Amino acid sequence: MYKLAVLFALACIFSCNAPNQEPTKPVVADTIASGAAYTNKVRFKDKQLIEHVIYGFCENFDNGKLDVCLEYMDDSIRGTIDNIQLRGKENWKAKIGALLESTKNSHYQPRHILTNMQLFPLENDTVSVSMYGSCFWTDLVTGQIQLMSIGNYKGKLVFKDGQWLITVLNTLPDSRLVKYYYKDVTVDSARAM
């Protein structure tokens, strides 16, 4: 009986490693199925490059490096950031530059946190982007962290000269969302009383 058990165990071991079977290939970027390489029909590699542009823009904005932020923008950037209308890269630099100068000697450090980034392809090498964003300020003296704003970032990026560039950027804090979408809540709650 012992010999039969050993023989059966050896047969199982050798049958699992049969020489005529091809070994499984490790999954690498080039072997991902084409359907899995896309997110919302935006190529995976482009999605990563777009995320790099957005995260890089926010990090450099937080650190007050406007010249680096400009590298992530198309010359014709437009939009609204915290109620500041933007038209063109130089206009943005002038308006945001004044804001950053006013906080330069402040003992606060801003930090963006971005989530739920969604990309949607448009025509002419353009992608629409939408995400939630929050901005925290850290008091560099006390270490206290304060939530400054929560809202949405919406915009577009265009692929030009081998790189993705921000061409439209709009911020929409939740306070404005509440006023816009729930302006009738006070009327409804007054009727309920």
- Give the span between the Cα atoms of 164 and 126, in whole angstroms: 9
Q: Report the pLDDT value the prediction gives residue 35, as an integer from 0 to 100.
A: 42
What residues does each domain of the chain span? 38-182
- Give the span between the Cα atoms of 160 and 72, in whole angstroms: 11
Give pLDDT tens digits for 100-150: 776 666 788 889 999 999 999 999 999 999 999 998 888 888 999 988 888
- More reliable by pLDDT, 30 or 160: 160
pTM of the model: 0.67
User: What residues contact 64, with CB distance under 8 A and at least 6 apart?
Assistant: 100, 104
CATH class of the domain comprising 38-182: alpha beta
Q: Report the pLDDT value the prediction gives residue 101, as an integer from 0 to 100.
A: 72
Q: Report the pLDDT value the prediction gives residue 22, as an integer from 0 to 100.
A: 55
Structure token digits, residue 26? 């490790």
Closest listed residue to residue 153, CA positions, set 92, 100, 81, 59: 81
Structure token digits, residue 61? 């904005």
Q: Report the pLDDT value the prediction gives residue 20, as an integer from 0 to 100.
A: 54
Q: Report the pLDDT value the prediction gives residue 9, as an integer from 0 to 100.
A: 55
Beta bridge partners of 57: none
